[in-house]
Structure 1
Amino acid sequence: MTMTQTWFWRFLLTLCGPFFLRIQSSNLLADSNARFALDLYQTIRSSYKENVVFSPLGARLLLGMVQMGAKGKAHHQIRKALRLQEDSIGEEFSALKSFLSAIHPRRQEFTFNLANALYLQEGFPVKEQYLHSNEAFFQSAVKLVDFQDAESCAEAISTWVENKTDGKIKNMFSSEDFGPLTRLVLVNAIYFKGHWKQKFREEETQPMDFTIKEGSITKVPMMKMQLRTKLGHFTHSQVNYQVVELPYEGNEFSLILLLPAEDIAIEEVEKIISVDQIQGWLSEMQEEHVEISLPRFQIEQKLDFEEVFKALNITEIFSGGCDLSGIADSSDLYISQVTQKIAFVINEDGSEAAVATGGQVPVIMSLASNQFVANRPFLFILKNNPTESILFMGRMTNPEAEKMRGRDTDSL
């Protein structure tokens, strides 16, 4: 390499250095978030026999809120579980703040309601720096309450969550959730609803057999659509499955669906799923004309993350004597509860523009050579495309299960 070439490359690196670092930081954050999401999924799925939905982003935010005030062993355990390097704190928070600012505002194409709060027992004065940092990075609230009055606390927190989610998530807590030993409660509630880039036509939705996890069959409302989208057929460890992408209007979000072959149990896919595989799907899937059949469903689920986090070796924050001195000066401060509640809806809703393309449907139907028929348990991932971050992840094993629990789809 000549001296001129050497000078040119040094100049280019100097010019692009900050930009390159921002991209690299963003990619590293997305990768660590994806690995954390898979760790959570593998832990959560074993505790639920049927439907599962959770938000890795929400769990990440809750731990981030604690991490800001944690020191010593507690801080180290959180960062290790989040798959983060000790020297990346500044870049990580900056990337997270930019991400939240980008997706949080209400847009015509989607509704994304995010509510984070930290409720602390009165008598523990919160440090000003901690209050400012939480507001700046996590758009979260820190509130002092008296957990001795459990009924009032439950009502106050539930009302706050309901207001933050436009009434979509109700009754998050009851008085039984709190007691005289409650010290610090972390709350996360997320509601997402997007308009499909191409709408499912309601007149196409028909009752169809769905084989639930145990092998029995139930009738479910099955939506149908033909479109051109990304599809892939994959085999790993002799496990065959399909992956399809359903984009939302604006292309900022996509729903990734993973359907095992008819002779493959969903547990077999769950065992082998990895971040490298997910990245492989996204890079190898090809645009195809696809005929999709997908059940209309909703899941409303409340998760207690204490046991989940403990399984990921985050144990220190749940015991007395942990160092949360960045939050308040007290040796009696520890996490009493970490709760997330999700309302997740999949239905025919789409944009007006998508309806206008209905005249092209017969042409697409005649070209469709691939079928994706989700008439058996499947996995789903809702991701933000610009950042490749996983917002929601779960599995659907019985679309009728929520109705049997008395849930009302229209209320969600």
Structure 2
Amino acid sequence: MDKILLWSLLLIFSGSQASRPLAQRNIEFAVDLYQAICLSHKNNIIFSPLGTTLGLGMVQLGAKGKAQQQIRQTLKLQETSAGEEFSVLKSFFSAISEKKQEFTFNLANALYLQEGFTVKEQYLHSNKEFFQSAIKLVDFQDAKTSAETISTWVESKTDGKIKDMFSGEDFGPLTRLILVNAVYFKGDWKQKFTKENTQLMNFTKKDGAAVKIPMMKALVRTKYGYFSGSSMNYQVLELPYKGDEFSLIIVLPAEDVNIEEMEKQITAHQILKWFSEMQEEEVEVSLPRFQVEQKLDFKEALYSLNITEIFSGGCDLSGITDSAEVFISQVMQHVFFEINEDGSEAATSAGMHIPVIMSLAQNQFIANHPFLFIVKNNPTESILFMGRVTNPDTQKMKGRDLDSL
């Protein structure tokens, strides 16, 4: 049952039929959005296709005409009624909360409207029922107070991990509606790395410069694949989280392959091929300990994907309010993502530690240069997070963490 519910969340509008084409459409949207983000971000990237889909779903619930049509086309939704699209979301949130002991998965959705605008009761009810989202009124004329109010709400919904999401400079005199989406995920590895084996090693950044970073090491038996295509070679590695519901997929190009060239060739079909063709093998893994935290305004990326109408003053959001002045001014997402030896901040002594016995495995996976990563739900092959690491963030690590290596 949980598998069906999770799929229904990630493929919000796709109905109850579980099949590969539905997973493919979800991944197609994730790839489209990733490539759009790459156009304006050259370094580390982290975003949540799940969060973006939920956020756009919140808007679609109240959009009409061209605004609704553009969202549905970009999300590759089937023609179906709203009841079929959202019917299982409420059950999913209950199911996911019951598994909190296996992972931390915090998702905060909210629409902030300028005071004086009346929101329709049906829209309020539907958002609360399907998305567990809050709709709040603020006075954007008092930009500083509004920023503090929204940031405090986000912080409370993400266990304090995402702070200061907005500042007063983010709002202007014409701000009418802010869509906020904050995501926080961490999980324990199924097979943990041993901290004693972590060593300082060189990581070659995209510009060719080298930086010292903590490199985690382990010998693991896991799904692995070596792929070739369009004159480029790369490795794909799967590291499952405890409980096997989620996995981290690392895509590592060969050292002579430009990561931006590889990104251009990624397709939903290719990603599904990785998932299906990886085989369980013994692999020597060297993976950076890293943090990626990023706040993105998706307006430019969504424009490039032909979602433009919701940002114009003439868009039809009459399902939200009767006011003709309302339009979306920002679509913000803030994601915090961390990889360490435990896989989770809430480190426990449970779990099997895999000793590092190098040179015994036939396969070596050494992530000492830029790579892509995906966090997927295994039962559905749906993507929760997607991004790349071009420079592991050592600036935010505590000095003692590096001194101990």
Normalising to structure 1: TM-score of the pair? 0.88
How far, CA to CA, are the matches of 1:165 and 1:306 in structure 2? 23
Shift of 1:222: 0.2
Counterpart of 2:350 (choices 338, 348, 353) is: 353
Contact persistence 2:239–2:247 (CA under 8 A): yes
What is the RMSD computed on CA atoms of the aligned residues?
2.1
Q: How does 1:2-21 map to 2 (within 5 A)?
A: none
* Distance in structure 1 (CA, Å) of the matches to 2:95 and 2:341: 26
Q: Which residue of 2 aligns with 1:3?
A: none
1:193 corresponds, among 162, 186, 194, to 186
- What is the aligned counterpart of 1:107 among 97, 100, 106? 100
Structure 1 28/42 Cα, relative in aligned 2: closer, same or farther at 3 Å? same
Of the two, which has the highest radius of gyration? 1
- SS of the equivalent of 2:63 reads coil
Q: Is structure 2 residue 266 aligned with structure 1 residue 269?
A: no
> Cα gap change, 1:39/1:97 in structure 2, threshold over 3 Å: closer, same or farther?
farther
Partner of residue 131, structure 1: 124
Corresponding residue SS for 2:355? helix
Shift of 1:352: 3.0
- The correspondence for 1:207, drawn from 200, 210, 234, is 200
Corresponding residue number in structure 2 for 1:221 = 214
Cα deviation 1:370-391 (Å, max 9, x = unaligned): 1100000000000111222211
1:161 aligns with 2:154: yes
Check conservation: 2:15, 2:85, Cα contact below 8 A: no
Alignment identity in percent?
Answer: 68
Question: Quick one: structure 1 residues 340 and 370, their matched pair in 2 at CA, closer, same or farther if it must change by over 3 Å?
Answer: same
Q: Which residue of 2 aligns with 1:8?
A: none
Question: Could you tell me which residue of structure 2 aligns to residue 260 of structure 1?
Answer: 253
Distance in 2 (alpha carbons) for counterparts of 1:376 and 1:103: 35
C-alpha deviations, 1:178-197, integer Å up to 9, x for none?
Answer: 11100000001011110000
SS in 1 for 2:334: strand
| Shift in alpha-carbon separation, 1:99–1:308, aligned structure 2, 3 A | farther
Higher helix share: 1
Cα 1:379/1:97, change in 2 over 3 Å: farther
Partner SS, residue 342 of structure 1: strand
Q: Residues 194 and 355 of structure 2 are in contact (CA less than 8 Å); yes or no, is this contact kept in structure 1?
A: no
Instruction: Provide the aligned length of Structure 1 versus Structure 2.
Output: 384
Superposition pairs of residues 377-396 of structure 1, within 5 angstroms: 377-396=370-389
Quickly say closer, same or farther: Cα 1:23–1:280, change in 2 above 3 A: farther
Tell me, what secondary structure is at the counterpart of 1:361?
Answer: coil
Hey, what's the Cα distance between the residues in 2 that align with 1:104 and 1:172? 24
SS of the residue corresponding to residue 42 of structure 1 reads helix
| Equivalent residue, structure 1, for 2:227 | 234
Structure 1 residues 206-261: Cα deviation after superposition (integer angstroms, max 9, x where no partner): 00011100111111100001110000011111211000000000001100000001
Q: How is 1:46-125 mapped onto 2 (pairs within 5 angstroms)?
A: 46-87=39-80, 89-105=82-98, 107-125=100-118
AA in 2 matched with 1:396: V
Residue aligning to 1:286: 279
Q: Which residue of 1 aligns with 2:301?
A: 308
Paired letter, 1:58:
G
1:150 is aligned, of 136, 143, 161, to: 143
SS at match of 2:104: strand
| Conservation of the 8 A alpha-carbon contact between 2:24 and 2:269 | no
Rounded to whole Å, the distance in 2 between the matches of 1:220 and 1:95 is 44
| Deviations, residues 13-69 of structure 1 (Å, cap 9, x unaligned) | xxxxxxxx9762565543322111101000001211210000111111110000000
Separation (CA, whole Å) in 2 of partners of 1:197 and 1:105: 19
Q: 1:33 aligned to 2:26?
A: yes
Which residue is 1:9 aligned to?
none
Give runs of ≥4 in structure 1 deviating > 6 Å. Answer: 407-410
Deviates more, 1:382-391 or 1:226-235: 382-391
Comparing 63-72 with 258-267, greater Cα deviation is found at: 258-267
Task: Look up the SS of the partner of 2:42 in the other structure.
Answer: coil
Query: Post-superposition shift, 1:282?
Result: 0.8
Match of 2:368 among 365, 368, 375: 375
Gaps of 5+ in 2: 1-13, 401-405
Is the Cα–Cα contact under 8 Å of residues 201 and 348 in structure 1 kept in the other structure? yes
1:332-374 Cα deviation digits (max 9, x unpaired): 11011111011110001155332xx33x636x75752211000
Output one character per residue of 1:279-312: Cα deviation in whole Å (capped at 9) or x when no partner.
1111110000111000000011000011111111
Q: Distance in 1 between matches of 2:234 and 2:91?
A: 35
TM-score normalised by L of structure 2: 0.90
Give yes or no for contact 1:187–1:340 (8 Å, CA) kept in 2: yes
Deviation of 1:136 (Å) = 1.0
Counterparts of 2:132 and 2:200, CA distance in 1: 43
Q: Which runs of 5+ in 1 are unaligned?
A: 1-20
Query: Where does residue 5 of structure 1 map in the other structure?
Result: none
Contact 2:66-2:309 at 8 Å conserved across structures: yes
